[in-house]
Structures are given as C-alpha cells and as structure tokens.
Amino acid sequence: MDQITLLEKRLAREKKARETAEKLLEKKALELYLANQELQRLNTNLQQEVSNKTGELELQSTRLSIILKNLQEGILLEDSQRKITLVNQTFCNIFNLPVSPEALIGLDCPTAMEESKNFFEQPDLFVGIVNQMLQEQSYSPPAFLKTKTGRILELSYNPIKNKDELIGHLWRYQDKTEQILADTKIRQSEEKYRSIMENMDLGLMEVNTSGIITKVYDRFCQMMGYKESEELLGKIAKDVFLPLEFQELMAQQDEIRKEGKASSYEIQMLTKQGERKWVLIGGAPFFNTDGNLEGTIGIHYDITYQKELQKELEIARHDAEAARDAEKEFLANMSHEIRNPINSIIGMTNLLYDTNPQKDQLEYLNHIQYSSELLLALISDILDISKISEGKMEMNTSVFDAKDLFCTIGKTIEFRLQEKPVSFQLDLSPDLPEQLIGDRTFLNQILFNLLGNAIKFTPSGTISLAIQPQKQTDDEVWLAFSVRDSGIGIPLDKQSHIFERFGQAGKAKEVSGTGLGLPITKELIQLMGGTISLESQPGAGAGFFFELPFKIPTGTKKQQQKVDKAELFSNSLGLQILIVEDNESNRIYLEKLLEKWKIQYTSCSNGAEALQILETKSFDLALMDIRMPVLDGYETTVRLRASSSHPNQEIPIIALTASALLDEKEKALAAGMNYHLTKPFTPDRLAEAILHFVQNPSVSFSQDDNFTWPSPFSEPTIKDLYAGDLAYTKVMFELFLKNISGELQEVSASIQENKLLETADLLHKIKPNFTMVGLPQIGIKITELEDKCKSDQTDIIDQEWSDLQKEITSLIPQIEHITNQLKERT
C-alpha cells in the first residue's frame, strides 16, 4: 500500500474515532448534567431535613434546658472521663457558685469535688460517699449531707449506661432542709404526745375503715396484756377485744364515726388473758387529704377500778339504806313499847298530886311530872329524829305561856344543879310577851339540850339563860336567847364541827341529858326559822346564842284549860264502883283515881271475891281486869250475867286489858262486858267511860277519835288493833305501803320461777299485813292461794295470783289516801 492510501485510511479512522469520541462526550456531558441535577435535588432535600432535624434538636435542647433550669434539683452530668458536661442553675445556686452553669462545662470533676468539699460540715464524709457511689456504679439509695450553712442536701447518683457501657455519671442534689425539719417536727410532736399519753396511762389505737388495727402505742399493749405491738397490728380489733354483749354499742359508735363525729363511751374489753376491763374510750374519725374517712383513732383509759368502786359504793349505799330503814322500823316499834311504862309514871304522878303532898314533895312531883311528860314527848320525838333525817319534821304550833315555860325550865335546871357548885341565873326581860304561838316542845328540847350541855361541862361556876325580845311587831316577835356557862369551853378546832352530825365533839357525849345532839338543836332552830351561833374559849366557858321568831296571839284567846274531870263528878252522884284487879299497883291506881273523883269504891283481887261482894252489895259499875287468878274476868262476867235476879246482874262492866288484841275484845264483849279500856289509859278516858255507862248503861260507847273508815276497810278490825290510836295506826299503814310493792314482786318472781313452796311461805308472811290495814278479806284470799301452792295446783296459781295482785294494787291508792288523812290528824 502506498503512503497516501495509508494516510487516507488512517485519517478516515481518526475522523471516525473523533466523531465517536465527540458523541461519547456529549453523552457523558448529559449524564453529568443529569447527575448534577439529581445531586442538587438530593442536596436540597438533605438540607431541608438537616434544617428540620436541627430545628427539632434545638427545640428539644431548649425544652431540656428549661426543665433543667426549673428543676428543684441541682444537676451535674459528667462524661466517662469525669469531665463536666452539663450543670443547671439550681446546682450553682445550691453551692453558691458565682458562675453560670455554662462556665463549668469541661471542668474536671474530681478537682471540682476537692474544691467544693468544704461546703459540707463533714467534708471527708462527702468525698467518701461520692467515691463509694462511683465505685458501686449502680443506683444507690440517696445520702443526706449537712452543709455548713445548716442546709440538708439529699445526694443521688445514677450511672448513665449505653447498653452495658458506662458513658457518664449523673449527680442530683436536692435541698431537703424544710422537709426534714418538718418531718422532725412531726416526729417530735408525735413523740411528745405519745409520751404524754403513756405517762397519763392512756392507750392509743388506730384502726382503718375495715376495722383492722393499723397502729398501737406500747401503753395500750401493756394495758391489754400484750407484749408487743406486732401481736396486734393487722388484726381486726373487734375480734380481738370486743365481748359479745357490747357489739351493739360498738356498732352504734361506728355509725357515729362514719358521720364524722367524735364521742366517748364506756365499754368492756377483753385482755389477752381473757379478763375483762372496763375502759373509757374517746373515739374520733380521721381523714386523708382527699377528705375521705381513713380510719378511727381511740384513746383508752382504764376505769376498771372506778367501776369496781362504783359497784361497791352501790352495795354500801344499799346496805346503809337498809340499815337506816331497819333503824326506823325499830324506833317506830320501840317508841310504842316505851310509852306504856311512861304512862304509868304519869298516872302515878297524877295520883300522888292528890295525896296532899308537902311542899317539897309537891316540888318533886312537879319535876317528875314535867320530866315524864317531857319524856313522853321525847319518845314521840325520837320517832321524829328519823323524820329529821328525812327532812320531814313538822312544827306543831300552839299557844303557850312563855313565862311559865321558861320558869319551869329554870326550876328544873336549878334542881339538877343542887349537888354541884354551880349557880344558875335566869334573866327574863320584862318586855317578854305573856303568850306566844310556837312549838313549845321544840323550844323545850332546844333549851334543855343547851342547858344540859352547860351543866355537863361546867364543874363549877355559873350557868345563865337570858331571853330578850329583839324585834317586835303587833303579831310577831323575835326572841334572842343566850345560854352561857363558865365551864371548860370547847376546843377551837372542834368549834366549826360542833353542829355537824357525827362530828367528833358530839359523839359519845350526847347520851346523857335530853339525848338530843347539838346538830338536832341546830336543825330545830332552823326549822323554827332561826339561826344559832357559838362563842367559846377553851377554859373560859361557852356561850350559845340563837334567835327565834314567834307569833303573838291576838285577842284574848284563853288556852283551853284541861277540863278537870273531877268537876264532872262533883254533883255527887253517890256512885259505887267495884274494882276487880289482881295487880296491886294497878289497883291502887284505880282506887286513887276514884278517890280523887269522890267516888266510893270497893276493891277485890279476883273474880271469885268479886262475885261474893256483888251478892252482898249493889254497885253502879264494875271495873274488871281480865287476867286474874282463880277466876278471870270473862268467867266472872259470864257467871254474873247468868245469875238471875241478882241485883248486879246487869251492871255495866268495863274490862281493863293490857293488850289490844282482837280476841280479848271480842271475848270481853261476848262474855257480857260492856266496854274495854286498854292499858295504859288516861284518867280522862276512864272518867268519860264511867260517866257514860252510869248514865247510859245500855248504850254502846266509843272514845276513839272520830275517824271514818270507808269500805273496803274494816273499821272493827282497825279499831280493835289500834284502840283508836291514830298515830300508831298511821305508822303501821306507812309500814305497809313501804313494803307492799317489794312483797308483791317477790311473790310474782317466785311464782314465775315455779317455786311453789317458797311462794307459800312468802304469802304466809305477808298475810297479816293486810289485817293490819283493815283488809282481812284480802288476808283470807291469800290464805286460799297459799293452800293452793302447797297442794301444787300450778295451773290456776298464775291466774289467781294475777287477779289477786290486781286487786291489791287497786287498793293501794285508797290505802295511801287513808294514810295521808291519818298524817293530817296526827
């Protein structure tokens, strides 16, 4: 091939190659362009995303820093190299750092720690704790550190791990000063109250709304016999402590708590040993912060001792009252017994007056009469002592001669002082009114008591009684009394108690004299409207001063004189009376009486003699004793009445009996006697009877006080029993009323328990009581029921007793009414 051809070929190839290359270039350029576009697009997207992400990050960062800033905790974050990466403002504040949080970033932690350790009270403790926390490299409980400025910081540590790799440390500091102070205060307060309560022997227990024990103080455990609170916590309080019979009370209390109220109540609780204690509980509800009921708290006080004491006191009181009642009954009975001999004395004294006594004898008789009458009055008043105790003493006012009373008292005192080197002085003001209206008996007693004491306590010297009118109006006067003596006086420490009952100064020394104590004197004075005072120096005598008001009788109301029955007989009826009495003193008494009345008499000492005499002489009347030897009163009368054409066959016979038994009376009347007098009888009564029967021999006679006994009360029964003595009647009625309801209950209970024999006994016991109040018909029904009990007729007893009880109960108001009437009369 020649050169040109070679070159042409080569050129053609070069040209082609170039064209190909150009095409390739274009193609590449386009590719490049497109790639560029794509890149740009991607770039823009990326930029946007980055921008977004950056925005988000910034936002989060802002949020976090706000949180951090506002955290109450101081935060310190370090990286694994222990360089500070993050600190918040609170941290700087806590440690009083004068720099901003950002300035601390990058600092070396250990160094910083060294520099800051002296901030704490115990710097080495701080360092030690930090190091220990770092060593453990896990979450550990927070530590409390005290700073030198007195703040208490709570330090917490958290290691920061990425999977298992430690990448940082988080320290948190919180200022807990206030909280801890508050907690301490609360704890101290609770301790204080707990110890107060424990010292006061109070127990405390808390239960929740389900009744489960959530808290107990030691004292409470001890009180209930438990050693430790653990034994009780978690248990249901009711199950542990509450006896069955108090469950209702407890349920009521629970309701009160639910209403949000507190209350206190007494209840019995069971100890661990099973014993019972009486406890006073103050219970109150308590609420949680939402205001919902969270539980109840109870404060317990052991009152077992007080309850026992209460019981014992009750028993003692009951016993004391029973004793007092027994005493009253005794007094009521006894006083009646004592009356009889005293009446004898009075009777004899009256007779003695008629024996033409000499002057000195007369004087003696006056004293005897006065004393015995006083004594009789006193016996009535002994009954009244019990009245005083109950405050039921009543004044009985009447018109009396003042001078007469005071002079007589004076004379008595002089008489008593005969043996002693003591002189008596009576000082009556001339301005004293002649007559006064008041309770003479009370005044007597008061003066006798005070003067009696003066006599007892004055071995030598003088005793004086002075009486002066103080304020006087037309119808009223106040009298000032003073009783002075130059005796041994009263010790100063006893003076304030001397008017008190059972006070030391008054004890055994009350027995002699009039038997009334100063306390009673004081009460009588007060009852009369006055006051009493005393002055005394030991060794220098004593003076008692009191004032009493009296009304003055207007006009000239003459005191009703006792009608001297002797006048009745002065018409000299020429009476002849037969005395049949075996008892000598009684016979003499009768004889003297008849002498006084200028009645002629014949005496004998038994029935046989009487019959003989009656044959020989005619009489107008016979006074016949019942109980006589040889022939008694009944027989004598029967025989007399039987003997016909006897001049004395039908003479009135008055029986003289010692007892008021129904039998005797009936017998006397059945035997033919006309009337009977119960000893002791006053001369007046005898005179009245004699007078009646000599004038109206066949007319029946009654001397009893006019008292109408309505049905269903049996007048004969009552009259027979009490012989017209309304006072005695009243006492027995009162006694009945007092006992009846108790007695009825006893019988009812006994019947209910089906104890028939016991019921029969009870019925037997109460039967006579109904006779005593004039209801013998009830007594009969009781006897019937008693028999049925004995013969075991159980089926009808219930009904019969019920009926009978109703009947009795319906009568009680009537009995009470009668009793009130009797009270008014006596």
Partner 1 sequence: MVEETMGAEMVETIIDEAQLESGGAYTAVGTYPTSEIEALVQRLEVHTQLNRDQLLEAFGKFLFKGLAKNYPHFFPEGIQFFDFLSGIHDYIHVEVRKLYPDAELPDLIVQEKTDSKLVLLYESSRRMAQLATGLLQGCIDHFQVGANIHHQLISGDGSKVIFTIVLKE
Q: Given the rule CB under 8 A, which residues bind partner 1?
A: 1, 6, 9-10, 13-18, 20-21, 24-25, 28
Strand segments, DSSP code E, in 670-747 are 675-678
The answer for residues whose C-beta is within 8 angstroms of residue 78's C-beta and 6 or more apart is 84, 85, 109, 168, 169, 171
Chain position carrying tokens 């823009």: 44
d(CA 524, CA 509): 19
Q: Which is nearer to partner 1, 22 or 816 (CB)?
A: 22
Burial of 704 (C-beta count, 10 Å sphere; 0-12/13-18/19+): middle
d(CA 95, CA 173): 10
Query: Please, what is the minimum distance in Å from the beta carbon of residue 46 to partner 1?
Result: 23
**Structural tokens at position 230:** 């653990």
Query: Please, what is the minimum distance in Å from the beta carbon of residue 25 to partner 1?
Result: 7
Backbone φ and ψ of 285, nearest 5°: -85, 155
Query: Please, what is the minimum distance in Å from the beta carbon of residue 13 to partner 1?
Result: 5
- With CA atoms as reference, report the closest residue to 629 among 608, 615, 660, 612: 608
DSSP state of 122: S
Question: Angle between the 359-390 and 402-416 helix axes, to the nearest 10 degrees?
Answer: 110
What three-state secondary structure class fits 234?
Answer: coil
Q: Which is nearer to partner 1, 3 or 799 (CB)?
A: 3
Q: Which is nearer to partner 1, 27 or 509 (CB)?
A: 27
d(CA 621, CA 601): 10
The answer for residues whose C-beta is within 8 angstroms of residue 317's C-beta and 6 or more apart is none
Q: Where are the alpha helices (DSSP H) in 438-547?
A: 440-457, 492-495, 518-527
Q: Which is nearer to partner 1, 18 or 387 (CB)?
A: 18
Query: Please, what is the minimum distance in Å from the beta carbon of residue 4 to partner 1?
Result: 12
Question: Angle between the 518-527 and 359-390 helix axes, to the nearest 10 degrees?
Answer: 80
Angle at 784 between CA 741 and CA 718, to 5 degrees: 60
Q: Which is nearer to partner 1, 29 or 661 (CB)?
A: 29
Query: Please, what is the minimum distance in Å from the beta carbon of residue 41 to partner 1?
Result: 22
Query: Please, what is the minimum distance in Å from the beta carbon of residue 27 to partner 1?
Result: 10
d(CA 386, CA 731): 13
Query: Please, what is the minimum distance in Å from the beta carbon of residue 134 to partner 1?
Result: 47
Query: Please, what is the minimum distance in Å from the beta carbon of residue 22 to partner 1?
Result: 9
Q: Which is nearer to partner 1, 13 or 806 (CB)?
A: 13
**Structural tokens at position 695:** 């004038």
Q: Which is nearer to partner 1, 21 or 67 (CB)?
A: 21
Backbone φ and ψ of 201, nearest 5°: 65, 30
Q: Which is nearer to partner 1, 7 or 57 (CB)?
A: 7
Complete DSSP assignment for 191-221? HHHHHHHHHTTEEEEEEETTSBEEEE-HHHH
**Structural tokens at position 693:** 């029967």
Q: Which is nearer to partner 1, 13 or 63 (CB)?
A: 13
Pairing of strands 398-401, 476-485: unpaired
Query: Please, what is the minimum distance in Å from the beta carbon of residue 37 to partner 1?
Result: 19
Q: Which is nearer to partner 1, 11 or 757 (CB)?
A: 11
**Structural tokens at position 614:** 């009656």
Q: Which is nearer to partner 1, 15 or 261 (CB)?
A: 15
What three-state secondary structure class fits 493?
Answer: helix
Which residues are bridge partners to 208 per DSSP? Answer: 295
Sign of the alpha-carbon dihedral angle for 444, 450, 451, 455: positive
Query: Please, what is the minimum distance in Å from the beta carbon of residue 23 to partner 1?
Result: 9
Rg (CA), the chain: 59
Q: Which is nearer to partner 1, 3 or 561 (CB)?
A: 3
d(CA 279, CA 271): 11
Query: Please, what is the minimum distance in Å from the beta carbon of residue 47 to partner 1?
Result: 26
Alpha-carbon distance values, 612 to 578, 603, 608, 649, 687 (Å): 12, 12, 6, 13, 26
Q: Which is nearer to partner 1, 9 or 261 (CB)?
A: 9
Query: Please, what is the minimum distance in Å from the beta carbon of residue 24 to partner 1?
Result: 5
Query: Please, what is the minimum distance in Å from the beta carbon of residue 10 to partner 1?
Result: 7
Q: Which is nearer to partner 1, 22 or 564 (CB)?
A: 22
Q: Which is nearer to partner 1, 24 or 407 (CB)?
A: 24
Strand segments, DSSP code E, in 419-488 are 422-428, 435-438, 461-472, 476-485
Query: Please, what is the minimum distance in Å from the beta carbon of residue 33 to partner 1?
Result: 17
Starting at the earlier edge strand, list the strands of the sheet with 213-216: 213-216, 202-208, 293-302, 276-287, 263-270
Q: Which is nearer to partner 1, 18 or 192 (CB)?
A: 18
Nearest 10 degrees: CA dihedral of 752, 758, 763, 768?
-150
Q: Is residue 482 within 8 Å of 465, Cβ to Cβ?
A: yes
Query: Please, what is the minimum distance in Å from the beta carbon of residue 42 to partner 1?
Result: 19
d(CA 464, CA 454): 9
Query: Please, what is the minimum distance in Å from the beta carbon of residue 44 to partner 1?
Result: 25
Q: Which is nearer to partner 1, 18 or 311 (CB)?
A: 18
Query: Please, what is the minimum distance in Å from the beta carbon of residue 16 to partner 1?
Result: 4
Backbone φ and ψ of 431, nearest 5°: -85, 5
**Structural tokens at position 744:** 């009825």
Burial of 664 (C-beta count, 10 Å sphere; 0-12/13-18/19+): buried
Q: Which amino acid is at 236?
A: I
